[in-house]
Amino acid sequence: MTSFISSQMGDIEQDIALLSNQPNVLNTCVNQAPRGRNKTRPYPLSELNDLKIQQGLIIKDLLFSLIGYEGCYIRYSEKFDPSDINSKIRGPDFKIAKHLDISLKCITKKLVKFGKYYSGLNGFLELYDRPEFGKVVQRLCFEISEFLISYQQVIKQIEDEFKFNSTFNLSIFETILIQKLSLKLSHFYDIVISVHTETIERSKYKHQTSESYFNNFIKSIQNDLKETGSIDLATDNVNFEFCKGGILLKIIQDRINAYQGDVISLEFLTKIFDVVSVDYVSMLNNWVINGEIDDSAEEFVIKMNKFPDNPDSPIYRNGEKYWDELYVTRTDGVIDQFSSKDIQLKILATGKYLNIFKACTGLYDFQQLNETIQPIDRLYSQDLEWKINEYYKRANKLLMKLLFEGYQFSSLIDSFQNLFLFKDSSKIDVFLDKSFNDLRKNKHAISTSRLAKLYDDTLQRKKDEFQVKDINKQKSISDDSICDVLSYSLSLSVDFTNFYDLAEEILNVKSFDAEEAFRNGQNSSIFKALLNKSLERDQMNSAASNNLPSSYDPDHSDEYAIAGVNLDMDLPFPLNIIIGQNYVLEYQLIFKLQMIVKFINKLIDNSWKEINYSTVWKYPGFHPRIKKWILRCRILNNRMKDFMNDLQFYLNFDIIETNFDTFKQTFKEIQRLLDEEKLGSNIDHQNIHNNGIGFKNGSLANYNHNNLFDEKILNHNQNFNDFPNGNLINIDNLINKLGSFLNNILRDSFITNKVLIDVLKNMFDLIILYNHYLNRLKKSLIMSDKDLFHKFSQDYPEKFQNRVMDDELIEARFKNLDGMLNSHFEIFNDSLTEFIVTLKSHGNLENQLFLILIERLEHCFPDH
């Protein structure tokens, strides 16, 4: 007897589809079985009363319909259009002859769905089994193809039973299909329908990319704020154009979660997920172990951005920005295992750090490290997060050893401390002595190049002896060499924006409740308002800091060149990954304040020399009241010097040195831990058990942490094993420690408090005003004594020509001098009191360290 399946196409003429000039070899050449108009008219069932004959005829038709073809009594629905893609993937609906016995009809209606599903799976393979849909979808297509082979074998077995088993009937037919095919077929069909539906939905919004991108960006920000309280910009918010990669895995995961109570379905779906995700797991292993991305279809959770080939492009010149934007996480298609922002950031950082390590060392093959690395075998594994964490720790260790042992990072921080925070300020003092007259001039009226050269000569910086571009080509870098790197990357400049305006600009960055703002749905208006405020602030600061030379007022420190002096720093890669531009800016702010304090101290010292050692000021023949007045001038000068000394001691020792000592202790501990660690790592199952973490393989129930106590024990063990190495041998922690160090100094030195910085500026201005006043008094003192006037008029007749000297004029001059001195005393005392009161109010409410300075000032000025 001839097989129905093997012969069903032999006696029917098929429609042939002609290939186009550029054919797709994956397209079918045979359209579909011919429609009913070409078929022989079947014998009417209404004339067949024998139930056995009806059953035989309908079984024969079912054998055709189960492989997607029409029979005599089972036909395609009129709605089915084989030329329509959606119809093809969803499969045909069948209509059954109306006169079929009702008992047979009920069973037949159930069974024809198998044919619909079978046709749908074949249509799905025809459209989706292509490389552009990605490896994950192709894995699914392969599994479906394998299943369809077994499906056809079952249908062939049923056909044999029908031909040779006289007891075979429709009920047995149904039982075989349900037992052997139903569960897998229905799950595969539902999955492919979900995949196709997702692709159709995405194709509708394909041309709305800008709006879709913005909405995804807002959702990403909301998610970041909810999970971490901060905004992560290292994300790619562009949605996939069709279903692929993580989207397909998420579809299967959703079914896994929905069938938690069905053990058989759960086992099957988990197996399918494991098989389909094989290439995804391979990409994950390649990324976290080797730092490589093998993702031709761009379906992996990590995306590598493509930049212009032009090496002069700005992105290449800014190493920090380049590495921040080179690798990003995708927000679309994130599977449940990677839903945590912490896991995403660890996966991203792991591969990123490995690539930085390879770029710096030229070591592109980690096999030389003789490591034992156990890769991730499946995504539904209870040790998944543990392994990701171990890979993350390995990448951190490699980069930390590179920084501390290769680039002498501790010495680099010491150099920053010397150059920006004046740990050893002897050379800076020499520079101030040599450049003092230039630094007290208007910033528009000095030679910046002369200042820069003077700074280089004073600090003995010889740039020609070291080329920073070769930093990554040297086998080893000594402490002296890293200082050379820093010196080469450093240059002195005078900014148009003075210190006070720069500090105010930073303080003017207003915080706002992002969640509340986004909840209102006015996303565009929010960003426009923020942009406008930013532009207005830039314009305001630009206008305030770029006054013309003609408006220069020598009695205000913000118009001096010293207020704009800056150290520009352009660190080479990879040092700029750790000390980014934001940290350099914080170093610069502290440097600027320190320079102003030193400059004012130098100004007071010069005035002190003038009023104590100049011929006029120490003239012994002055009237006693003039001598008393001079003594009061010296007393006020000394009070100002005491104030500046207390302030400088507070900044240098109570704030900077104290914080730096704590910071250096962390560095010493990091260095100790790194010395104990080998460069390579061992990550295998043996280490898992040695660490006290036991895992049961393969069970989805284990992955889900059904036992609350098991999960707590696991977390406790992971936290225990993370300490202390996990906390210290960590790039993010190192960056955060550096940030905390700088933030503490900025906070404790008043820079981040607008009220205090304004009061401090007022103190600086009145000290400068008084010292300028003292330096202009020499002629007035000469005119206050007849003998001294006579002597100087003989030595310098041109300067005292036509000057009249009498007792009345001398009296008037003295009253004016005494009144001005009284005013300076009063202003200084009032301003000092205001500074102490303001500092005390903020110290009691915000910062207890302010009380240290208050105690010193109150001890030094008990009568303030």
pLDDT digits (tens, 9 = 90+) for 384-418: 999 999 999 999 999 999 999 989 999 999 999 99
Which of the four pLDDT bands, split at 50, 70 and 90, describes residue 693?
A: very low
Name residue 304's beta-bridge partners. 327
Q: What is the pLDDT of residue 530?
A: 44
Question: Is the Cβ–Cβ distance between 47 and 97 less than 8 Å?
Answer: no
Classify 331 as helix, strand or coil: coil
Q: What is the pLDDT of residue 716?
A: 46
What's the CA gap between 57 and 64, in Å, rounded? 11
Spatial neighbors of 29 by CB under 8 A, at least 6 apart, are 16, 17, 19
What's the CA gap between 233 and 105, in Å, rounded? 60
Domain edge (last residue) among 179, 204, 229: 204
Q: What is the pLDDT of residue 744?
A: 95
Question: Given a cut of 60, is residue 176 above it in pLDDT?
Answer: yes
Is residue 806 one of the residues assigned to a domain?
yes
Classify 540 as helix, strand or coil: helix
Helix H or strand E encompassing 200: helix 183-204
Spatial neighbors of 446 by CB under 8 A, at least 6 apart, are 438, 439, 494, 561
Is residue 276 one of the residues assigned to a domain?
no
Q: What is the pLDDT of residue 844?
A: 85
Positive/negative CA dihedral, 387, 225, 735, 362: positive
The percent of residues in the chain predicted with pLDDT above 70, rounded, is 77
Peptide bond into 724 cis (omega under 30): yes
Q: Give DSSP secondary structure letters for 722-769.
A: HTTHHHHS-HHHHHHHHHHHHHHHHHHTTTT-HHHHHHHHHHHHHHHH
8-state DSSP, 577: H
Per-residue model confidence as pLDDT tens digits over 185-197: 999 999 999 999 9
Question: Given a cut of 80, is residue 460 above it in pLDDT?
Answer: no
Copy the structure tokens of residue 671. Answer: 């260095």
Q: What is the pLDDT of residue 538?
A: 45
Q: In this structure, are strands 327-330 and 235-236 parallel, antiparallel, or unpaired? A: parallel
Is residue 661 one of the residues assigned to a domain?
yes
Which of the four pLDDT bands, split at 50, 70 and 90, describes residue 688?
A: low
Domain edge (last residue) among 157, 174, 204: 204
Question: Given a cut of 90, is residue 223 above it in pLDDT?
Answer: no
Q: What is the pLDDT of residue 779?
A: 85
Q: What is the pLDDT of residue 472?
A: 56
Which of the four pLDDT bands, split at 50, 70 and 90, describes residue 471?
A: low
Spatial neighbors of 36 by CB under 8 A, at least 6 apart, are 70, 75, 76
Question: Given a cut of 50, is residue 558 above it in pLDDT?
Answer: yes
Compute the CA torsion angle 413, 419, 420, 426 (nearest 10 deg). Answer: 130
What's the CA gap between 384 and 713, in Å, rounded? 16
Q: What is the pLDDT of residue 474?
A: 53
Q: What is the pLDDT of residue 540?
A: 42
What's the CA gap between 70 and 12, in Å, rounded? 12
What's the CA gap between 248 and 185, in Å, rounded? 17
Question: Given a cut of 60, is residue 606 above it in pLDDT?
Answer: yes
- For the chain, give the longest Cα–Cα distance: 150
Q: What is the pLDDT of residue 627?
A: 94
Which of the four pLDDT bands, split at 50, 70 and 90, describes residue 840?
A: very high
Q: What is the pLDDT of residue 524?
A: 45
Q: Residue range 817-837: average pLDDT?
A: 95
Spatial neighbors of 738 by CB under 8 A, at least 6 apart, are 413, 578, 579, 583, 663
**Residue labelled with tokens 């093959």:** 365
Q: Residue range 729-740: average pLDDT?
A: 94
Displacement of CA 697 from its chain's centroid (Å) = 34
Q: Residue range 583-608: average pLDDT?
A: 95
Q: What is the pLDDT of residue 543?
A: 41
Q: What is the pLDDT of residue 528?
A: 45
Name residue 683's beta-bridge partners. 373
Q: What is the pLDDT of residue 336?
A: 94
Domain edge (last residue) among 204, 225, 255: 204
Q: What is the pLDDT of residue 715?
A: 53
Question: Given a cut of 60, is residue 35 above it in pLDDT?
Answer: no
Question: Given a cut of 50, is residue 232 above it in pLDDT?
Answer: yes
Better-predicted residue by pLDDT, 691 or 179:
179
Q: What is the pLDDT of residue 423?
A: 87
Q: Residue range 10-23: average pLDDT?
A: 39
Q: Residue range 96-124: average pLDDT?
A: 91
The percent of residues in the chain predicted with pLDDT above 90, rounded, is 52
Q: What is the pLDDT of residue 793?
A: 80
Predicted model pTM: 0.82
Q: What is the pLDDT of residue 118?
A: 96
What's the CA gap between 720 and 718, in Å, rounded? 5
Write down the mean pLDDT value for the chain.
82
Please report how many Cα atoms fall inside a 13 Å half-sphere around the Cα of residue 713, on the Cβ side: 11
Which of the four pLDDT bands, split at 50, 70 and 90, describes residue 89?
A: very high
Better-predicted residue by pLDDT, 481 or 595:
595
Q: What is the pLDDT of residue 309?
A: 65
Other C-beta atoms within 10 Å of 742: how many?
Answer: 24
* 249-253, 301-305, 580-584, 796-800: least confident range: 796-800
Spatial neighbors of 721 by CB under 8 A, at least 6 apart, are 691, 692, 693
Better-predicted residue by pLDDT, 792 or 519:
792
Which of the four pLDDT bands, split at 50, 70 and 90, describes residue 228?
A: low
Is residue 827 one of the residues assigned to a domain?
yes
Question: Given a cut of 70, is residue 100 above it in pLDDT?
Answer: yes
8-state DSSP, 565: E
Spatial neighbors of 674 by CB under 8 A, at least 6 apart, are 397, 400, 401, 404, 405, 729
Question: Is the Cβ–Cβ distance between 591 and 749 less than 8 Å?
Answer: no
Classify 566 as helix, strand or coil: strand
Other C-beta atoms within 10 Å of 262: how many?
Answer: 12
Residue 383: φ, ψ to 5°:
-95, 10
Is residue 80 one of the residues assigned to a domain?
yes
Domain extent, residue 744, equals 600-677+731-864
Question: Checking phi first, is residue 333 left (phi over 0); if not, alpha (psi -120 to 50) or beta?
Answer: left
Q: What is the pLDDT of residue 12?
A: 40
Classify 31 as helix, strand or coil: coil
Question: Given a cut of 50, is residue 713 above it in pLDDT?
Answer: no
What's the CA gap between 392 and 354, in Å, rounded? 10
Question: Is the Cβ–Cβ distance between 446 and 617 less than 8 Å?
Answer: no
Classify 153 as helix, strand or coil: helix
Is residue 281 one of the residues assigned to a domain?
no
Q: Residue range 611-636: average pLDDT?
A: 93
Q: Residue range 511-520: average pLDDT?
A: 50
Question: Given a cut of 60, is residue 519 above it in pLDDT?
Answer: no
**Residue labelled with tokens 């607008």:** 754
One-letter identity of residue 206: K
Is residue 539 one of the residues assigned to a domain?
no
8-state DSSP, 30: B
Which of the four pLDDT bands, split at 50, 70 and 90, describes residue 97?
A: confident
Copy the structure tokens of residue 391. Answer: 């890979």
The total number of structural domains that make up the chain: 2
Peptide bond into 862 cis (omega under 30): no
Which of the four pLDDT bands, split at 50, 70 and 90, describes residue 826?
A: very high
Q: What is the pLDDT of residue 795?
A: 75
Is residue 492 one of the residues assigned to a domain?
no
Question: Is the Cβ–Cβ distance between 354 and 395 less than 8 Å?
Answer: yes
